[in-house]
Amino acid sequence: MRGFVRALPLWVLYLFLYLPIAVVVLMSFNSGKNPFVWEGFSLKWYPELLQDAEIMGGLRTTLIVAIGATIISVVLGTLLAFALERVLPSRALDAAATAPAIMPDIVLAIGLLALYTLVGIRLSSVSVMLAHAVFGIAFVAAVVRVRLGTLDKSLEEASRDLGASALRTLRKVTLPSLRPAIIAGALLAFTLSLDEFTVAFFTASPSDPTLPIVIYSRVRFGVTPQINALATMLLLVSFIAVILAQRTSRLADSLKGDTTE
């Protein structure tokens, strides 16, 4: 009991963190239409969700955007990490590479919309994808760079010493050593894109909105139990992503143990 009292502030803090989420999850199992009054347990909103064409369309667009943005981010972000670490080490370029990750979304959103209009790019899922890649690249580059910086140089030298060409060394030694960082960066870019609202709101086509935009437009007319069910499912997806990310980083640590000794 004394232990509980001592840890009380901690429990209050956790309550603060998780109460909103608990409400959403709980109400997603509410059988009534009113999202604020508990009327009994039901799973009926979940199958109904699958019947909702608008939500399903939004989900499809979001997945296309997230997957596309992740692929672009991983490829360009990794290349950027190599450039910053190996080709042109410079603090100014470093800062410029991380800026999109911490810049206010609204600035990026307005800028992108202005640019698209200026250049004459039609708003579509591709325009959102490119927009999300802007900060995705920054995150991937940051994560991969750290790993690249701590990479034991002698691994690559050993590869050359054993007769491997530069390309073979990259393919067989460098990239596999970076794999945990690349996976972590990819998960980051993917999950950030998945629930991103501000930038998507500005750069998506009105006829082809992403899921967060669909949810927002629904919620304006009140929270429905369907939205709660959707939120619960999104929560599940994020949890899985977090667990995957932790696993890969643990893998990275255990692999690193060999080279740092």
Partner 1 sequence: MNQPLVAIRDLSRAFGDVQALKDVSLDIGENEFFALLGPSGCGKTTLLRVLAGFEQPDAGSVTLDGADLLDVPAEKRPVNLMFQSYALFPHMSVEKNVAYGLECDKVAKAEISERVADVLATVGLSDKAKALPNTLSGGQRQRVALARAIVKRPRLLLLDEPLSALDRKIRGEMQMELKRLQHEVGITFVVVTHDQDEAMSLADRVAVMNTGEVRQLDTPVQLYRHPSSVFVADFIGTSTILRGYADSVGLWHTQGLPTLKVGDAYANAIAIALRPEDAKVVAGTDVSAKIEGTIGSVFFQGDHALAQVLVGEQQFLVAIRDGELPERGAHVALTWNDQALIPLITE
Q: Which residues bind partner 1 (CB under 8 A)?
A: 152, 154-155, 157-165, 168, 172-173, 176-177, 179, 254-259, 261
Instruction: Round to whole Å and give the CA distance between 118 and 198.
Output: 20
In this complex, which beta carbon is closest to partner 1, that of residue 47 or of residue 257? Answer: 257
Rounded to the nearest 10 degrees, what angle do helices 225-260 and 8-27 cross at?
A: 130
In this complex, which beta carbon is closest to partner 1, that of residue 3 or of residue 258? Answer: 258
Show the CA angle centred on residue 184, arms to residues 183 and 187, nearest 5°: 85
Q: Which of 46, 48, 28 is nearest to 38 (CA)?
A: 28
The least CB distance from residue 83 to partner 1, in Å, is 23
Give SS3 for 79.
helix
Instruction: Round to whole Å and give the CA distance between 23 and 181.
Output: 35
The least CB distance from residue 80 to partner 1, in Å, is 23
CA distances in angstroms from 194 to 70, 83, 98, 209, listed in the order given: 10, 28, 20, 12
Amino acid identity of residue 74, one-letter, is V
In this complex, which beta carbon is closest to partner 1, that of residue 39 or of residue 152? Answer: 152
**Strands (DSSP E) along the chain, which ranges?**
none
In this complex, which beta carbon is closest to partner 1, that of residue 180 or of residue 212? Answer: 180
The least CB distance from residue 246 to partner 1, in Å, is 19
Report yes or no: 219 and 125 within 8 Å, Cβ to Cβ.
Answer: no
The least CB distance from residue 230 to partner 1, in Å, is 39
Q: Tokens 């992108």: give the residue.
A: 112
The least CB distance from residue 158 to partner 1, in Å, is 4
In this complex, which beta carbon is closest to partner 1, that of residue 60 or of residue 256? Answer: 256
In this complex, which beta carbon is closest to partner 1, that of residue 161 or of residue 206? Answer: 161
The least CB distance from residue 148 to partner 1, in Å, is 15
DSSP state of 221: T
Tokens read off for 117: 């209009």
